[in-house]
Structure 1
């Protein structure tokens, strides 16, 4: 089962849809997360409806920044939304060909301090919602590094 995460840097680029179709053809992802779409609302739905996936959750942008989409194929997985904000989408994934299920979090965490605090608090709350295996993917490397340093007592 393939899961793709792609930082698109804009869903209105002329090549955006071509790239998505090509990536989907080559890798046959069951779940496809698109980060930094810079597109929300009805326009996000309009664009994602032309992509080769039949399930979608869209997060709004923050001004012209951000934008997070979680796309999937309903014939392979069942997705149940648990929680979402501009920075994250948390879902339960059930594989239809088995009894296997897990939690999946698509993340596009803000570099701004206030939003980072909200993000970490949200992760703590999601932890309380389940006791299943959990996959987190997206853009959060810098945040994890800073969080680890903070836990170890180093200056951030």
Structure 2
């Protein structure tokens, strides 16, 4: 099962929307955490194709600032919204395929230092509410943990880094280290003016027994934003991500098997789209 977190830095320009949608299509996630949509709820639902391909849960932006969204594929994932604010969303995720469930927190931290203190308390309270379950935090905290998470510009220890580290230690969180790059944001300048930081990643709750599961994160190529999307693949230990499906001949000799296939075919959920797309969705359901 694949998660994706991405600070898209606004979706108002048509050309940018096209690039973002193309990036999502290439990544092929099942659950998407979006930060900084800079859109209202209805506009965000329309832009990201809710009710056509995705289901969604959005938080409205304040003017041209902020805006959050969680999207999921309803054919393979069930998501229940729990709570939200202008800086975070929390949902319960249940996979229909691999019998996997977790709490997912989509975070976009405030940029003002005066708002940070209350923000850390709010996220800590959310994590305490789900302490006995697996919690995944898709983060853009607008803060870095150390000097190693920044390249270029002024590099000095500040109160924001100290508070962020205290928050991580207190909640016993650990980061899924992503391959593919050390930084997830850049100011897109050249030479000595270039600044890059690691602002986006996934955190997991340390208290949960993660032995049966394997987590792999990767920084993906950006498209239309100055932030890079980060993916998180969750799979059972020893089980390949894409298991080949093969029909055994003995199934065809089983009494009532063909009749059952007909029943499954009729029970497949109706989806919108071209006939070829509908056909493959029915095949996937029967499998």
Q: TM class, shorter-chain normalised?
A: 0.7 to 0.9
Cα offset for 1:3? Answer: 1.6
For structure 1, the residue ranges without an aligned partner over 5 or more in a row are none
- 1:96-136 CA-to-partner distances (Å, cap 9, x unmatched) read 11321111111111022343233222212212322211111
Q: CA RMSD in A?
A: 2.4
More strand by share: 1
Q: Do the aligned partners of residues 111 and 36 (structure 1) sit closer, same or farther apart at CA in structure 2, a change above 3 Å counting?
A: same
Normalising by structure 2, we get a TM-score of 0.48
Cα offset for 1:86? Answer: 0.6
Contact 1:17 1:51 in 2 (8 A): no
Q: Do the aligned partners of residues 140 and 52 (structure 1) sit closer, same or farther apart at CA in structure 2, a change above 3 Å counting?
A: farther
Q: Do the aligned partners of residues 12 and 50 (structure 1) sit closer, same or farther apart at CA in structure 2, a change above 3 Å counting?
A: farther
Residue number in structure 2 paired with 1:139: 140
Residue number in structure 1 paired with 2:16: 16
Contact 1:24 1:52 in 2 (8 A): no
Equivalent residues in 2 for 1:125-136, closer than 5 Å: 125-130=125-130, 131-136=132-137
Q: Do the aligned partners of residues 40 and 118 (structure 1) sit closer, same or farther apart at CA in structure 2, a change above 3 Å counting?
A: farther
Residue number in structure 2 paired with 1:47: 47
Cα offset for 1:31? Answer: 1.0
- 1:44-92 CA-to-partner distances (Å, cap 9, x unmatched) read 2222236974211111112321111111101111111121111011111
Normalising by structure 1, we get a TM-score of 0.83
Residue number in structure 2 paired with 1:5: 5
CA distance in 1, matches of 2:74, 2:142: 30
Higher mean alpha-carbon deviation, 138-147 vs 103-112, is at 138-147
Equivalent residues in 2 for 1:66-145, closer than 5 Å: 66-130=66-130, 131-140=132-141, 142=143, 145=161
- 1:23-51 CA-to-partner distances (Å, cap 9, x unmatched) read 23212100112211111132222222369
Contact 1:8 1:37 in 2 (8 A): yes
CA distance in 1, matches of 2:53, 2:16: 15
Contact 1:33 1:69 in 2 (8 A): yes
Count of residues in correspondence between the two structures: 152
CA distance in 2, matches of 1:27, 1:51: 20
